[in-house]
Structure 1
Amino acid sequence: MGYHKTIGTTFVPILILLLSFMNYIPCKAQLSPTFYDNTCPNALTTIRTSIRTAVSRERRMAASLIRLHFHDCFVQGCDASILLDDSPSEKTAFANNAVRGYEVIDAAKAAVESVCPGVVSCADVLAVAARDASVAVGGPSWTVRLGRRDSTSANPTQANSDLPRANMDLATLIANFNTKNLGPRDMVALSGSHTIGQARCVTFRARIYNNASDIDAGFASTRRRNCPVGPNDGDGNLAPLDLVTPNSFDNNYFRNLVQRRGLLASDQVLFSGDSTDSIVTEYSNNPRTFASDFAAAMVRMGDIDPLTGTNGVIRNLCTTSN
């Protein structure tokens, strides 16, 4: 009797401990906003200072950094693979030939390395930089979940197949985002980042010269001035994605769409008599709703297939695998 009692009183707490331990171990390590609180408490402040400096030098850089994070997450997940110079490099992919801001992330990473060597991943630096870039131009902030690790290889083939393009129709865009577990509302909200930044003439020439396209005639005429017709005629000439407030993060992008003044075909299809019209209208009328949804969509995008736990590495330099 005493033997069984001893076994019982000993076994119960052990069982509870085992069950607690099993519950503690997640199927996949989770990202957390407090990930660096003990190992590098100054990480976020260091990154923010670096990004603010870069955006103050060039306001356009805010759009470039948000886009850089997007282009990273849509290929292999948010793993900083886009930053690698190692061959094959995603930087050489056709879909990334206008992506910029690499040197800003390299500088932010170097600043963090100076205070906490080998602790903060390039993938996390990029995720935090996108948030800080938004804030620097008056856009929303959000809590960045941290703990991503870096890949040791890139995938330019996937970059060309998975990244959305400027001439995609609505159904293709929705399907494209759906493969990353992002719904139509996420897609429209994230497209709102085009309220800042610029696009190259080659990406919108077909739209502004197509008289049958859904475009405001005056807007098309204005855009043609710096985007002539002909092979290689001004392909790299830039135009603001939002002609009205190109350097401020606001909801004017959606107002433009309602007025048929979306610069890219993939912009205007969001308001073309189809399923996403109501979302565009809502965002054009309510900047707070857009800002809130944009922040939430950026968090969800930042959760696309991160490398965590023992997967991946912490790269010392973002341009090369260790």
Structure 2
Amino acid sequence: MKPSSSLSFHLLLLLLLPQLLMAVYAGGPYQKAPDDDGDQLDKHYYARSCPSFEAIVGSKIAHWHSVDPTLSPGLIRLLFHDCAVRGCDASILLDNPGGERRSPVSATLRGFHVIDDIKAEIERRCPKTVSCADILVAAARDATLMVGGPYWGNVYGRRDGRVSIAQQAEAIPKGRESITHLIDLFDSMGLDILDLVVLSGAHTVGRATCQSIQYRLYNYTGVPGKSDPSINPRYLNYLKRKCRWPSAYVDLDAATPTKFDNAYYRNLDNRMGLLSTDQLLHSDSRTGPLVAALSSQPMVFVHQFARSMKNLADTMVLEGDEGEIRTNCNFVNKY
């Protein structure tokens, strides 16, 4: 239920925070109710058929993180792009003309070769057993660990989708949407406003292209030379120096760009949100109280991030005959 006013949401937040704090000390991540999507998923799904599955994923992610640490945030983002379109069915991995992977929105996605490497090793050990969707879910969790984020126990048994449509990927947020649009998108995925604010905290690591923010620096509201007045002036000067060219990259978190922490939310307090949608989370009355709470409660953020990532990974999953187990994550099976 959406809050009717800023005051009522503050009251709801006061009730919510003690429960979150108790959960930090009382036990593991949130488990979905049996009637939610993914009710047949099981943490022991591969215990007999591929017992080395998670060990293989963990070893490969550690290797690739040592080669290029920026791949880890990329894998977290890759999972979100997959789950936000048609659910967590590995449709983003399909490399076919007209697919999600070929959409302009997906142009800067990274980590496909990491998933291919993991899949190749798993096929050697456990052929035709582990889905690409489950590999991506496990890889995003272990990538989070590599950047200092929390561990959570995954459940498995997803099937891979056979359909991938580039036009549907256009629904992925680009950083210029309204908060109402984002709330509606997350609601369509079975996620709530808390998941929205917490999963946005993944921007504590990773980078964005300067092309995605140049309008805020040089052409705000279509006025040449105008900058977004919500940007901290010192931060604005830094971004203008950093983003002279659209192809350049800039850290999403200017304070601690390689560390998983709640500095992302403190940056919003200081008007240092890189994307417009980041800063709007702070100013909107529906999300602002949660930003303030997460800014001052780092342990709540860490624990809730694990919960929200589990919620994301259980979004509209395919099970049983609804999908397949691809032998190559880039293509649907030919048999």
The TM-score range, normalised by the shorter chain, is: 0.7 to 0.9
Classify 1:284/1:29 alpha carbon distance in 2 versus 1 (closer, same or farther; 3 Å).
closer
Q: Which residue of structure 1 aligns with residue 24 of structure 2?
A: none
Question: Which residue is equivalent to 1:69?
Answer: 79
Aligned counterpart, 2:139: 129
2 CA distance for matches of 1:315 and 1:97? 23
Q: How many residues align?
A: 292
Within a 5 Å distance, the mapping from 1:225-236 to structure 2 comes to 225-228=241-244, 234-236=245-247
Q: Are 2:315 and 1:304 aligned?
A: yes
Report the AA paired with residue 203 of structure 2.
Answer: H
Q: Which moved more, 1:111-120 or 1:85-94?
A: 85-94
Please give the secondary structure, in 2, of the residue aligned with 1:261. Answer: coil
Q: Secondary structure at the match of 2:250?
A: strand
- The aligned counterpart of 2:299 is 288
Q: Name the counterpart of 1:37.
A: 47
Report the counterpart of residue 179 of structure 1 in structure 2: 188
* Equivalent position SS for 2:320: coil
* Uncovered stretches (5+) of structure 1, i.e. residues with no partner: 1-23, 229-233
Matched-pair contact (CA < 8 Å) for 2:102–2:166: yes
Letter in 2 for 1:127: V
Output the CA distance in 2 between the equivalents of 1:127 and 1:305.
Answer: 13
Distance 1:131 1:29 in 2: 20
- Output the CA distance in 1 between the equivalents of 2:270 and 2:166: 36
TM-score, normalised to structure 1, is 0.88
Supply the distance in 1 between the matched residues of 2:251 and 2:39 (Cα, whole angstroms).
Answer: 40
How much has 1:97 moved relative to structure 2?
Answer: 1.4
Give 1:247 shift.
1.0
Q: Normalization by structure 2: what TM-score?
A: 0.84
Residue 207 of structure 2 corresponds to 198
- How far the C-alpha of 1:29 sits from its partner, in A, is 5.8
1:114 aligned residue? 124
CA contact (8 A) 1:29 1:308 kept: no
- Alignment partners' CA distance in 2, 1:298 and 1:29: 16
Bigger drift between 268-277 and 73-82 goes to: 268-277
- Contact 1:131/1:142 (<8 A) preserved: yes
For residue 70 of structure 2, what is the amino acid of its counterpart? R
CA contact (8 A) 1:270 1:280 kept: yes
Whole-angstrom distance in 2 between the partners of 1:69 and 1:273: 26
Q: Secondary structure at the match of 1:310?
A: helix
| Identity %, equivalent residues | 39
Structure 2 counterparts to residues 1-322 of structure 1, below 5 A: 30-160=40-170, 162-209=171-218, 210=220, 211-228=227-244, 234-322=245-333
- 8 Å Cα contact 1:73/1:301 also seen in 2: yes
**Runs of 4+ with >2 A deviation:** 26-29, 208-213
Q: Is the 8 A contact 2:90 2:133 kept in 1?
A: yes
Pick closer, same or farther for the CA change 1:272–1:113 going to 2, 3 Å.
same
Partners of 1:181 and 1:207 in 2: CA distance? 31
The structure with the larger Rg is 1
Q: Distance in 2 between matches of 1:320 and 1:265?
A: 36
Distance 1:205 1:272 in 2: 21
Q: Is the 8 A contact 1:195 1:253 kept in 2?
A: yes
Equivalent residue number for residue 21 of structure 1:
none
- Cα separation, 2, equivalents of 1:301 and 1:154: 19
Is the Cα contact below 8 Å between 1:149 and 1:306 reproduced in 2? yes
Give, in whole Å, the separation in 1 of the partners of 2:95 and 2:311.
Answer: 27
Checking the alignment, whether the CA contact within 8 Å between 1:121 and 1:315 is kept in structure 2 is: yes
Mapped to 2, the partners of 1:212 and 1:266 lie a distance apart of 12
Contact (CA 8 Å) 1:47, 1:111: kept in 2 or not? no
CA deviations on 1:196-226 (whole Å, 9 max, x unpaired) are 0000011111223443431100001001112
Where does residue 8 of structure 1 map in the other structure?
none
Amino acid at match of 2:272: R
Structure 2: where are the runs of 5+ without partners? 1-33, 221-226
Partners of 1:152 and 1:303 in 2: CA distance: 18
- Residue number in structure 2 paired with 1:12: none
Root-mean-square deviation (CA, aligned residues, Å) is: 1.6
